[in-house]
Amino acid sequence: MAGNSLLSLLGWTFLPNLVTGWLQSIYYGLTIRAGDPKPAPNSHRYIEHRRRIHILVVSLYLLYTVYEADWELRRASDYYTDLGVSLSASEREIKSRFRRLAALYHPDKLMNAGAGAGDDTSSLFIHLKTASDTLVDPARRFAYERFGPDVLGWKHCVTVRDYVGRGAQALVPYYGFAAVAMYVLGLLGYLEWGRYWRWLTLVVLCVFELHTITRPAFPPLLDLLVNPFLTRFTAHPPYLPFQTISLARKLSITLHIAFSQIGPLLRPPLAATAQPGIRPAEAPEKALLESLDRLEQTARGMDAEATRLMELEMAPFAGDAQVIASMRTKLKEWLVQNTIRADPMVRDALGRSLQKRRVDAPAGAKGNR
């Protein structure tokens, strides 16, 4: 068990990231023309593409785990499917069906026919006999439908109340351990994202299971919607309550993994990078104010530097107020113009503008059309 858990953890740690890298490379190979540059690994575009592809990879894998759980249930089969009777079959129909199957698969019958009675044939007959005996007994049939084949090993259980009490006791360790594990991991700082939804999922699953094992009828969702749809439009056998509980447990585990793997990726970037004590709604405003402060400090520094340079240039004309006033204005304009033209961003913008001009434009033409 520990080895399987470790392998599962390692798989969830490395496999999605590995597949995400492959798919991102394939995506760029299909969407970016040959010769064009691909987004840099640390660029915003690259990170955004990786985030979306990773969400897709994890979602598809989680859907596959649900399909795999359903396939395992179908492979294990159930007594109704093995006997070939409906879920509403009466005691007479079950006995009649078993007699017909016994005439085909009884070891003595096969031996008299010269086919031999191997271990597989004997096991099949014993299995069919156990299925018939279980479904003929009303109490055991009720227990089997809600708890599965495990009820065959429950001793000292005769009535429906006995089976329900034994089954309810088995729920305490499962949900108790799950609740304690979630609480302890929360105290340690794990499972931060979706904590409310994790607890809600656990409570809803527990209530659903308690309702399913204690009510005399199947769950309404199963009886009125799921099973009629499966039997009418697909070849999928109808679900029994214990199969529904098993699938719901698997689905809850899938949701918990989705909360851990996909949940953090759905956070807005500003909310994920906000400082402690700052609400996500206040993060954009605070970032804007900080940018304005930095811009103001930069402008003050440039103004002080321009004033110092201007004083140095005006030093030879000290004492002549008229010349100093005239040259101060012209020198300031010259400094500003040369500073702007030397700025890399301005030069890049001018270069792009010149590239847009028409190649065949006549001398003195303006614009790019």
Pair 218, 153 in one domain:
yes
pLDDT of 287 higher than 80: no
Pair 189, 250 in one domain:
yes
pLDDT in tens, 231-251: 889 988 999 999 999 999 999
Higher pLDDT: 129 or 19? It is: 129
The token duo for 63 is 């859907």
Residue type, 361: A
Pair 155, 262 in one domain:
yes
With CA atoms as reference, report the closest residue to 202 among 167, 146, 245, 253: 253
Domain assignment present for 86: no
User: CB–CB of 259/194 below 8 Å?
Assistant: yes
Please give the pLDDT value at position 270. Answer: 43
pLDDT of 73 higher than 70: yes
pLDDT cut 70: percent of the chain above it: 74
pLDDT of 309 higher than 50: yes
Summarize the confidence of residues 95-115 as an average pLDDT: 78
Per-residue b/e over 333-351, b at no fewer than 16 CB within 10 Å? eebeeeeeeeeeeeeeeee
Compute and round to an integer the Cα radius of gyration of the chain. Answer: 37
Pair 260, 299 in one domain:
no
Please give the pLDDT value at position 271. Answer: 43
Please give the pLDDT value at position 341. Answer: 65
pLDDT of 185 higher than 70: yes
Pair 159, 232 in one domain:
yes
Summarize the confidence of residues 96-113 as an average pLDDT: 79
Q: Which of 266, 282, 310 delimits the end of a domain?
A: 266
Q: Which of 266, 283, 317 delimits the end of a domain?
A: 266
The structural domain count of the chain equals 3
CA distance 323 to 313: 12
Domain assignment present for 284: no
Q: Which range, of 44-58, 190-204, 250-264, 339-353, averages the lowest pLDDT?
A: 339-353
Please give the pLDDT value at position 206. Answer: 94
Pair 248, 160 in one domain:
yes
DSSP string of 119-141, one letter each residue: HHHHHHHHHHHHHHHHHHSHHHH
User: What is the reported pTM?
Assistant: 0.65
Domain assignment present for 93: no
Please give the pLDDT value at position 357. Answer: 55
Pair 145, 193 in one domain:
yes
Q: 58 in the Ramachandran plot: left (φ > 0), alpha (ψ -120 to 50) or beta?
A: alpha
Pair 182, 261 in one domain:
yes
Please give the pLDDT value at position 363. Answer: 53
Cβ within 8 Å of residue 109, ≥6 positions away = 102, 103
Domain assignment present for 121: no
Average pLDDT over the chain reads: 80
Please give the pLDDT value at position 136. Answer: 95
Domain that holds residue 40: 2-74
pLDDT in tens, 329-351: 776 677 666 766 666 666 776 66
| Tally of CA atoms within 13 A in the half-sphere of 144 that contains its CB | 19
The token duo for 159 is 């009535």
Helices (H), the chain: 2-31, 44-76, 79-83, 91-105, 107-112, 119-136, 138-147, 160-187, 195-214, 220-221, 227-233, 241-261, 269-273, 283-314, 321-342, 344-355
Confidence of residue 356 (pLDDT cuts 50, 70, 90): low
pLDDT of 205 higher than 80: yes
Q: Which range, of 88-102, 300-314, 326-340, averages the lowest pLDDT?
A: 326-340
pLDDT of 283 higher than 60: no
Confidence of residue 272 (pLDDT cuts 50, 70, 90): very low
Summarize the confidence of residues 193-222 as an average pLDDT: 91
CA distance 150 to 169: 14
With CA atoms as reference, report the closest residue to 199 among 122, 255, 149, 248: 255
Domain assignment present for 351: yes
Pair 257, 202 in one domain:
yes
Pair 64, 167 in one domain:
no
- Distances from the Cα of 260 to the Cαs of 58, 59, 73, 346, in angstroms? 11, 12, 26, 46
Domain assignment present for 112: no
Summarize the confidence of residues 12-41 as an average pLDDT: 80
Domain assignment present for 41: yes
User: CB–CB of 136/118 below 8 Å?
Assistant: no
pLDDT cut 90: percent of the chain above it: 32
Pair 258, 305 in one domain:
no
User: CB–CB of 57/261 below 8 Å?
Assistant: no
Cβ within 8 Å of residue 92, ≥6 positions away = none
Domain assignment present for 120: no
Pair 148, 237 in one domain:
yes
CA distance 106 to 253: 43
CA distance 78 to 65: 21
